[in-house]
Amino acid sequence: MDGVFVTGTDTSVGKTHVSCGLANALRSQGVKVAVRKPIEQRCKRQGGAFYPADGIALSRAAGKSEPIDVIVPYRLGHSISASRTAQADSGEVRLEQLVAAVHAGPADAFRLVEGAGGFLSPLAADGNNADLAGALGYPVVVVTADRTGCINHVCLTVEAIERRGLTPLAVVVNVADPQAPGAGSQRDDLAALLSVPVIAHSHGHEDWDASMGVVRLLRG
């Protein structure tokens, strides 16, 4: 396997946190990792330019081995919506540019690619996250938040992944407070419904066991 695509059931479900954990775990196994977030939205301006907070976190997790412009080539100050063509400072962004951005850099590095928003969320002028994942052909890790409604969202996302001929590698359920009553119950329910491995992850913490669980799946 030469890469993995990390998607979410929605925005702000913890994709970057999970991706950073995966990058750290892969590096601990001697894997050379090239992290990519081709488009980052909701960037704040700093010094006249958009600051990619998620991309910076990914860069740190990967050991700061590449320039941030390679990790996050396209940055937006707004959220991507179906009614708005994806725009960056350089103009319209198209799917072929995002694919090229993922493949840029060292050819021998494992690609860890984080999408923006949910699997079917618009990502470029001519495609969405699913289109990018399909063009890359990588297995997909689905990240969701441990909250009411996530079962429906996860099942729909896994079904969409499979319909496109892609492999749903794992579902990672971000548990905000592992000590709270009922914490992790969504993971148990999803595990009973899906044939895909479902892993609980303590959000906001360095959950090494969860990250290594996904890495073991990647390495077969």
Give the residue numbers marked as catalytic: 37
Q: What is the DSSP letter of 91?
A: E
Q: What is the DSSP letter of 80?
A: -
- Quickly count helices (H) and strands (E) in the chain: 8, 14
Phi-psi category of 123—alpha, beta or left, where left has phi over 0 and alpha has psi -120 to 50? alpha
Between vectors from CA 17 to CA 81 and to CA 215, what angle results, nearest 5°? 115
Around Cβ 165, how many Cβ atoms within 10 Å? 8
CA distances from 15 to 22, 179, 193 (A): 10, 22, 22
